[in-house]
Chains A and B, each alone.
Chain A
Amino acid sequence: KQEVTQIPAALSVPEGENLVLNCSFTDSAIYNLQWFRQDPGKGLTSLLLIQSSQREQTSGRLNASLDKSSGRSTLYIAASQPGDSATYLCAVRRGSGNTGKLIFGQGTTLQVKP
């Protein structure tokens, strides 16, 4: 059974700091991995999607890496801003085709202090 774990559960940093959020999964047979952002009282917004054949994806100040063999992914946020404060969730997709089920981690709640 696939399990997804995110550490730490919460993180508080001063503005401008670079930071790394961690995600680990127990079954390396994944199709892809996604990082989402969730603001309080809102739905999830997809940030980055990494295919199982890829090592990393970048979007602006965000960089996500994937190491399937070790069952790990990281989300790197450069030059953090107060607007980055949110909960970040990673999710793995198990299979290809129409097996679209995502397994989510519990999330890391990030607070960036001005």
Chain B
Amino acid sequence: NAGVTQTPKFQVLKTGQSMTLQCAQDMNHNSMYWYRQDPGMGLRLIYYSASEGTTDKGEVPNGYNVSRLNKREFSLRLESAAPSQTSVYFCASSHTEGLGFFGPGTRLTVL
């Protein structure tokens, strides 16, 4: 039982490059989330998926797209990376009580 896994752990991009952050959970949770963490800002919700086949925007969705590939997997894509997207990205999943389980994070730097 691995919980929530994320790949990669670290990534450096140049402005304009694209990449996809991968997330998978093995807890059979319906809901999955992508957050970004910036100093002094706490965690801000980018996108979430309440169930397989649905996605919704969070607080800061601009510049990102998501895909809920199946119940286990929820990916986050940056189509054209910008320095403002330098951050630590966390994926999470939850069951109906709202209790969130978090992955270890992806530290992204955009030059």
Do A and B interact? no
